Amino acid sequence: MASQDWLEKDFYQVLGVSKDATDADIKKAYRKLARKYHPDTNAGDAAAEKKFKDITEANSVLSDPEQRKEYDAIRAMGSGARFTAGGAGASNAGFEDLFGDMFGGGGGRNYSYSTQGGPDLSDLFGQFGGGGGFGGSPFGGGYGQPTKGADRTAATTISFGGSIKGTTVKFRVPQSGETIDVRIPAGIRDGQKVRVAGKGEPGQAGPGDLLVTVNVREHKLFKRDGDNIRITVPVSFDEAALGAQIQVPTLDGGTVTMKVPAGSNSGRTLRLKGRGVSTKKRTGDLLVSLEIKVPQNLNDAAKAAVEAFKEATENENPRASLMADARL
C-alpha cells in the first residue's frame, strides 16, 4: 500500500479500538472480527468478505510496531500530506495466501489452496501493504540517496500441528503472478513473525522484506505452555486409587506409557520429560493432568463394590479441614 492511502483509512476504527490501544487489545479485537467475518462462515457474502479483508489489512499494520508508528505519523500530518516510496517504489500490490499448511485442505470463496495431506486447513488469507517514504519511513534517509524498498506485511493461520512440526505457506502477488514460499519453522508460537528477505517492495538499494505474522489454530486436546505441552487425561477411580500404567498420546502421533501413582487426585499433574515442543534452543515437556472419571451407570455388582468400599472407608472424611481452611 502506498503511504498516501493510509491517510484515507482509519485502521483503528476498522478494528473498533482506540488510538492508544495496546498490542493485546488489537490482537483481541482482530481475532473477534476475523471469526465473525471469515469467508468460510460467510460464503457468498461479498460485504463480509470485504470486511474481512479490511480488518486483516488493519491488523497487519497496527500489529507491527514499525508500521504502526509510520501509520500514526502519516495520519497525524493530515490529508494535505502526500508521500511516495521514492527509490522504494510505492505499490498497492497485495498477496493472497494460497496454501494454509501441509496439514490443510479445502478453501474459501474466491481463493485457491494446494495442500499436502491431513484434515486441517489454513484459512486466513494474507493481506499485504507496502510502507512508503524514504528508506521505509517517511522521515528517514535523504533525498537522492539510494534506498531499500519498503517491507510488506502479511498474516496467515496454520494448524497446531503445523506450528509444532513446521510447514510451508505460499503467497501470490496478484499483479505479477509470482508465488513466494514462506517456510514456517517448527516450534513457532502464535503471533510470532517470519521474515523473508528480499520479498518486499523494490527499491534502488534492493527490495525490502516480507514480514508474515503467524496465527496458530487451537488444538482440541493439546495446549501449549511455553515450550511445554499440557494435556488432560481421564483415569478411572480404581486407577487413581490403586495406581496404574496408562497410555498417553504424544505430539508425534504416538503414545507413551505413564505411571499413575496410587492415591492420585483429579488435577494432579505429572511430567513427561522431553515430550513437549522441540526448538533450536530446547525441548519442552509434556504435562499430564489427571481427571478422575466417575462411571454414570453402575450394574449391581459395581454398586455392591462401591457400598463395600464406603463401609471400609467410613472413617475417611475428604472434607475434614474444609471449614477450617474456609475461615477468613
Given a cut of 60, whether residue 141 has pLDDT beyond it is no
pLDDT of residue 66: 84
**H or E stretch including 113?**
none
Q: Which fold has domain 3-216?
A: Helix Hairpins (1.10.287)
CA distance 319 to 325: 10
CA distance 59 to 155: 9
CA distance 30 to 23: 11
Q: Considering only residues 296 and 145, tell me which one the structure prediction assigns the higher pLDDT.
A: 296
pLDDT of residue 77: 65
Phi, psi of 127 (to 5 degrees): -120, 130
Q: Considering only residues 156 and 88, tell me which one the structure prediction assigns the higher pLDDT.
A: 156
Cβ-Cβ contacts under 8 Å for 207 (sequence gap 6 or more): 148, 149, 198, 199, 200, 201
Q: Does domain 223-316 have CATH number 1.10.8.620?
A: no
Query: pLDDT tens digits, residue range 188-237?
Result: 999 999 999 998 888 888 889 999 999 999 999 999 999 999 999 999 99
Long-range contacts of 105-110 (CB under 8 A, 24+ apart): 108/38, 108/39, 108/40, 108/43, 109/39, 109/43, 109/44, 109/49, 110/39, 110/49
- For residue 259, the cross-strand partners are 245
CA distance 283 to 221: 20
Closest CA to 95 of 9, 169, 3: 169
CA distance 219 to 175: 36
Which string of DSSP letters, residue by residue, matches 227-271? TEEEEEEEEEHHHHHH-EEEEEE-TTS-EEEEEE-TTPPTT-EEE
CB 70 within 8 A of CB 130: no
Given a cut of 50, whether residue 167 has pLDDT beyond it is yes
CA–CA–CA angle 294, 300, 301 (5° rounding)? 80
Which range, 29-43, 170-184, 236-250, is most confident?
A: 236-250
CA-CA distances (angstroms) from residue 160 to 105, 165, 193, 219?
14, 9, 16, 6
CA-CA distances (angstroms) from residue 286 to 152, 158, 161, 292?
37, 22, 15, 19
Amino acid at 184: I
Q: Considering only residues 125 and 274, tell me which one the structure prediction assigns the higher pLDDT.
A: 274
Grade residue 120 by pLDDT with cuts at 50, 70 and 90.
very low
Q: Would you give the DSSP letter of residue 96?
A: E
CA distance 60 to 130: 11
Query: Is this model's pTM higher than 0.75 or not?
Result: no
pLDDT of residue 4: 53
Closest CA to 114 of 160, 170, 71, 63: 170
Mean pLDDT, residues 130-158: 63
**H or E stretch including 292?**
strand 286-293
96: number of CA atoms within 13 Å, CB side? 16
Taking the domains of the chain in order of start, what are their residue ranges? Answer: 3-216, 223-316
- For residue 122, the cross-strand partners are none
Could you give the residue ranges of the DSSP H alpha helices within the chain? 3-6, 11-15, 23-37, 46-62, 65-76, 160-165, 237-242, 300-312, 322-325
